[in-house]
């Protein structure tokens, strides 16, 4: 017998691979978690021709990949995938099972958790191992994002969580990496009650942050997704784009493509409106090319005011509705 797969499992969501980095980000975090509980990271790679993704996951830190290749797995089908992965879990009992909070992950993981009779924390913004109990602590927004809850799964396995893209950092691609490969038996159960009649790709609006003349940026100070959505209306009224700081992305208020700063994009708009951002260097590094910077923050000592041309000291919850109302009247 060879080695057994590590007990921290990550579901490999390889669709749109070079844009969708959440699996790689999860592998990075899973490595830390696995180390804490003395095991390794195994990535599940399910599909028809998935060989290059298995290699990619090893390059980004997977200790092993568990591969199922079959023509009937070419489509992401929730019922088929649930039956397949549930059987693997029941047979080999991983401690932790993670997936990205993508459209598929949000559909697939609740069904899988139900099938396995275990808990699931959705859209987590942090994960860590409790040093005493060795349980996975899953931090997830609760009450509409007003507070963060820490969830544990003490009595059932695996401990399951989905994580929003952009929360964790991916490890760099290492061409010298090697990893184990497992080919468990693939039993396809024709349980699908959904038939794919035709496929149409939704055209998503292209984000043109770098080209925008007006950029509206939201940060942690906005406090909730609902507040952040007001920025989208503000940007639309000004024919601009919405950017975000890392805390806003971690909170799941918007997609990672909108991240500005050292690990995100750099912009040079004529006007930049920064709302609820403290002005941390990691963020301001990406906006220093802006023409006029307008900052809204309730803390008069926030560093953002040092680089802004115009500052409004006030709570975004109060200022934004007034600003929107005025703009609606004038535009």
217, 245 contact by CB (below 8 A) = yes
**Contact partners, residue 318, CB within 8 Å, separation at least 6:** none
Main-chain phi, psi angles of 273, to 5 degrees:
-110, 115
CA atoms within 13 A on the CB side of 29: 31
Least spacing, CB of residue 18 vs another protein, in Å: 8
Closer of 53 and 283 to another protein (Cβ): 53
Which among 267, 261, 260, 308 is positioned nearest to 290, based on CA atoms?
267
Query: Token digits for 248?
Result: 């806003």
Distance in angstroms (rounded) separating the CA atoms of residues 165 and 23: 8
Least distance from another protein to the Cβ atom of residue 97, Å: 16
The pair of structure tokens assigned to 52 is 């290059």
List residues binding another protein (CB under 8 A): 1-5, 18, 51-52, 54-56, 58-59, 64-65, 67, 69, 87, 91-92, 173-185
Q: Which is nearer to another protein, 66 or 259 (CB)?
A: 66
* β-bridge partners, 313: 297
Nearer to another protein (CB atom), residue 97 or residue 244: 97
Of 69 and 126, CB closest to another protein: 69
Please say which residue, 47 or 269, places its beta carbon nearer to another protein: 47
Shortest reach from residue 44's CB to another protein, in Å: 13
Distance CA 251, CA 276 (A): 14
- Gap between the Cα atoms of 208 and 115, Å rounded: 42
Pick 59 or 296: Cβ nearer another protein: 59
> Would residue 10 be called left, alpha or beta, if left means φ above 0 and alpha means ψ between -120 and 50 degrees?
beta
Name the minimum Å distance from CB 89 to another protein.
12
Nearer to another protein, 181 or 188 (CB): 181
41 close to 52: Cβ distance less than 8 angstroms: no
Q: Give the count of alpha carbons within 13 A of 119, CB side only.
A: 12
To another protein, the closest distance from the beta carbon of 190 in angstroms equals: 19
Smallest separation (angstroms) from another protein to the CB of 62: 9
DSSP 8-class letter at 265? B
Minimum CB–partner distance for residue 91 and another protein (Å)? 6
SS3 call for 290: coil
| Shortest CB 63 distance to another protein, Å | 10
Closest to another protein by CB, 132 or 185: 185
């Amino acid at each position: 017998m060879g080695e057994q797969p590590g007990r921290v499992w990550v579901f490999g969501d390889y669709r749109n691979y070079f844009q969708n980095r959440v699996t790689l980000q999860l592998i990075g975090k899973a490595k830390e978690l696995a180390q804490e509980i003395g095991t390794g990271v195994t990535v599940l790679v399910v599909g028809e021709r998935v060989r290059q993704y298995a290699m990619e996951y090893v390059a980004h830190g997977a200790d092993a990949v568990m591969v199922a290749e079959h023509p009937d797995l070419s489509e992401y089908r929730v019922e088929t995938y649930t039956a397949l992965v549930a059987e693997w879990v029941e047979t080999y009992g991983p401690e932790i099972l993670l997936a990205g909070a993508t459209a598929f992950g949000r559909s697939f993981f609740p069904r899988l958790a139900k099938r396995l009779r275990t808990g699931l924390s959705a859209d987590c913004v942090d994960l860590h191992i409790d040093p005493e109990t060795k349980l996975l602590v899953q931090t997830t927004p609760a009450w509409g994002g007003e507070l963060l809850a820490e969830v544990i799964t003490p009595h059932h396995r695996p401990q399951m969580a989905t994580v929003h893209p952009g929360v964790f950092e991916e490890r760099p691609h290492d061409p010298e990496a090697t990893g184990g490969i497992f080919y468990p038996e693939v039993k396809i159960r024709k349980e699908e009650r959904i038939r794919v009649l035709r496929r149409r790709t939704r055209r998503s609006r292209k984000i043109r942050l770098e080209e925008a003349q007006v950029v509206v940026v939201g940060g942690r100070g906005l406090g909730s997704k609902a507040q952040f959505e007001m920025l989208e209306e503000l940007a639309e009224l000004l024919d601009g784009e919405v950017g975000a700081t890392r805390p806003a992305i971690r909170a799941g208020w918007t997609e990672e493509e909108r991240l500005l700063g050292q690990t995100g994009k750099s912009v040079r708009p004529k006007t930049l409106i920064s709302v609820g951002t403290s002005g941390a260097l990691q963020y301001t590094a990406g906006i220093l090319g802006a023409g006029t910077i307008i900052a809204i923050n309730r803390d008069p000592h926030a560093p953002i005011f040092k680089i802004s041309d115009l500052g409004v000291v006030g709570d975004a919850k109060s200022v934004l509705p007034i600003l929107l109302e005025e703009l609606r009247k004038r535009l």
